[in-house]
Amino acid sequence: MKPPVLFLEQQAWRAGGQRVLEDVLDALVEDFEPLVAFPEDGPFAAALRSRNIETLFYPLGSYRPGRKSWGEMVGFVGCSVACGLQLARVIARRGIRLIYINGPRCLPAGVLAARLTRTPSVFHLHRALTRKSDLLIAARAAAHVTKIVAVSQAAAASLVGANPNLASVMQVLYNPLRRPPSAHSSVAADSRLPAQLSPGGGPTVGMVGRITPQKGQMILLRAAAQLRDRWPNLEIVFVGAPEEKSREDAAYLDGLKSAAAELGLESNVTWAGYQSDPGPYYASLDLLALPSIESEGLPMVALEAMTWRVPAVASYWPGTAEIIRDGANGLLVAPGDERALAGALERVLRDDTLRAHLKLGAGASLDERFSPEVFRRQIHALVSNLIGSSRDTRHTTEKEVEARA
């Protein structure tokens, strides 16, 4: 019988952390029995069920990005306690051998469940934490996990800086990247070019990812407005959509469309929406823009763009700088500085030699750190070792969970 592993996911739609979780599941499903818990149902949960991976739900509530009010934080603590108790009963009833916590939002509940059942736990950190409240909660809760996997040195440093003792259980494991088979075929790329885009027009700059204030789409629009006189045919492509239940994201998209009209960019902007396969859009880009106004752990879209030899102009964040080397495979600018972003975009667009140099650098940047085979091998070894080390531990019963609670 395969050892059962409980995965705690903090959102039900697919983004960077969820794509990585799919690779974790691929690495483990042959030898372990996964059970994935979500705070609500959604497209990512449905996709896992279509693969015959069992899912369940725990009442953590909807995820809202950005700063939280004191009331929201107090409510989150109460929800986390209730969820931890519920999950502890599941662990005892199902004989779970390991808890895999895929993100900081579900960390307190996962730690409580692990402690009540004396089950080993892994915390996968997908971003560099910068807010004091996030760091305080995560650093204290992470002190009780068995192992931490961070997606970058910057993500690891953010947590270790708040609690140096965590260095002893920290492992940096870069996100795996699946190289598309047609990424370097110009014929394939041209034949799959999205209908909205016009090959042979002006230069194309794009963003790929969720439409949300933290990603900085407004910064790109304002930078593009500064370039329009010199490049009247400049094309700006936004691939992505607001989170389905986020009023903040929806209002932000409305504001972006209004701003595009006010800046005279309506005819220059393509709103492509969510794309399950963004490959054809990457193939159409001259540059990827990553004007994030909050810290990135390891931006997956930059890695994906590199498979198409598309360089990036990005906000400087430590995690981003681990993969984008200024002047080698992209350019880095100060976060939130639209003038600096416009200057960097102009520098690349007007200099054919620099653009060719950055394209070559982007194509040569994907080394073994990002190999799916290396990632899966290391994840499998980590989980096997943790489950193996707990093999002789007596399993906690539901009655014991209730007594400890």
Beta strands 287-290 and 269-273: pairing type?
unpaired
- Asked if residue 64 and residue 15 are part of one domain, the reply reads yes
Q: How far is it, in rounded angstroms, from Cα 9 to Cα 28?
A: 16
- Asked if residue 338 and residue 226 are part of one domain, the reply reads yes
Q: Tell me which residue of 225, 232, 234 sits closest to 338, measured CA to CA.
A: 225
> pLDDT tens for residues 248-284?
999 999 999 999 999 999 999 999 999 888 999 999 9
- Give the ranges where 97-146 is alpha helix by DSSP (H): 107-117, 132-142
At 242, list the tokens.
């607001």
> pLDDT tens for residues 133-167?
889 889 999 999 999 999 999 999 999 999 999 99
- Which residues lie closer than 8 Å to 129 by C-beta, 6 or more apart? 104, 135, 138, 155, 158, 159, 162, 295
- Asked if residue 391 and residue 318 are part of one domain, the reply reads no
Number of domains in the chain: 2
CATH, residue 281: 3.40.50.2000
- Asked if residue 199 and residue 52 are part of one domain, the reply reads no
- Asked if residue 284 and residue 355 are part of one domain, the reply reads yes
Q: Is the dihedral of CA 312, 317, 320, 325 positive or negative?
A: positive
In a domain, 181, yes or no: no
Q: How far is it, in rounded angstroms, from Cα 155 to Cα 138?
A: 12
Q: How far is it, in rounded angstroms, from Cα 77 to Cα 142?
A: 15
- Asked if residue 332 and residue 377 are part of one domain, the reply reads no
- Asked if residue 153 and residue 204 are part of one domain, the reply reads no
In a domain, 288, yes or no: yes
Going across the sheet that includes 170-172, the strands are: 54-57, 33-38, 4-9, 98-102, 121-125, 147-150, 170-172
Q: Which domain holds residue 107?
A: 4-176+371-404
First-residue to last-residue Cα distance in the chain: 30
Q: What is the dihedral of CA 300, 306, 308, 313, to 10 degrees?
A: 90
> pLDDT tens for residues 21-49?
999 999 999 999 999 999 999 889 999 99
* Res 296: pLDDT: 86
At 281, list the tokens.
């859009």
- Asked if residue 102 and residue 68 are part of one domain, the reply reads yes
* Res 179: pLDDT: 65
- Asked if residue 296 and residue 242 are part of one domain, the reply reads yes
